[in-house]
Amino acid sequence: MPPSVLALSAKYDETRSAKLGPLLHLLADELSAILVPKLTREGEAAKAVVIAEGVAKLREPGLPVMPQEGKPFSPDAFALVQASDEWKRFVVSFTEAETALNESYQRALDREKAVFQEKGDPYGVIAVENEAKRVAAIQAGHALAAAGKDGASVGSPSGASTTGTPPPSPANPDGLSTGTMKTPPRKMEDRFVKKMVRYHFKDDIFDFYFRPRGEVVRRITKPDDSTVMMTGSWEIEDDGSVVVTGIHSTKWFWFGDDGRCEMRQGEKEGKRESKIEFVPGAKDPER
């Protein structure tokens, strides 16, 4: 691995521990203060002891920052932890922090990849891409750990399942509805294909241009007017949402027939970003 990529990787791992480790410690504190006494009061002292012993291991060095079955809880104990409100709060905070961290790291990797491309160094480009895959695999593993045995995303306030067939026509309380798609796919495409949507995150501008035949390009414009480009894929899901993959964390877009757009990233359920605007007359930024 090139020294520059190795340095980025080491810095990322160090930052992960610094930013996500305290969230794990907070979970340990809350489980000790809330779940263990609750089980004891309910006459489940034996279960409370097992949870307490697992909690004591959460602060041990080398433990993953997202607890997993067997690390450090047994399957039965972990099921109790996952069903608790303390775990649900932890997953929400963890997912938000990890997503923000990985978005920032992806921008650093994009810049490093651009340097190798400019030099014509294929080994450097592959090293950066492999590092991005490593980080994506870590996050994917955490998503599985966060989910309950029934596949529910326990970090989402509703506890709605993120797998299988969606429930019939649930409404998103914050805006556009979702459910079984009634609009034909071709008609849906008219709402977003060959169009660009934009949102702002801190000082950066994020543009997504949806090409025909399932390709999407993301452009990030920095405060100094420099840009970072990345391409991925889009697909219309059964509920009418448009899922974007291959550009760091998975994203979902909802395009209403009234011209509105909403977005969610990392996981599908939950409050959506509604400050998404179409860019009139925008062209493909790479062509």
Averaged pLDDT in 10-residue chunks for the chain of 287 residues: 86 86 88 92 91 83 66 83 88 86 90 91 89 82 56 37 34 50 68 94 92 91 90 87 86 90 88 90 89
Instruction: Enumerate residues 6+ apart whose C-beta is below 8 A from 144.
Output: none
pLDDT at 249: 79
pLDDT at 209: 96
Read off the pLDDT of residues 33-79 as tens digits, 9 standing for 90 and up: 999 999 999 999 999 898 898 888 887 766 556 776 667 788 888 88
pLDDT at 63: 58
Give dist(CA 247, CA 107) in Å, integer.
11
pLDDT at 167: 35
Instruction: Enumerate residues 6+ apart whose C-beta is below 8 A from 260.
Output: 175, 176, 274
pLDDT at 57: 83
Reading across the β-sheet that carries 251-255, which strands appear in turn?
Answer: 261-265, 251-255, 242-245, 227-236, 215-221, 204-211, 195-201, 277-278
pLDDT at 270: 84
pTM over 0.75: no
Three-state DSSP state, 67? coil
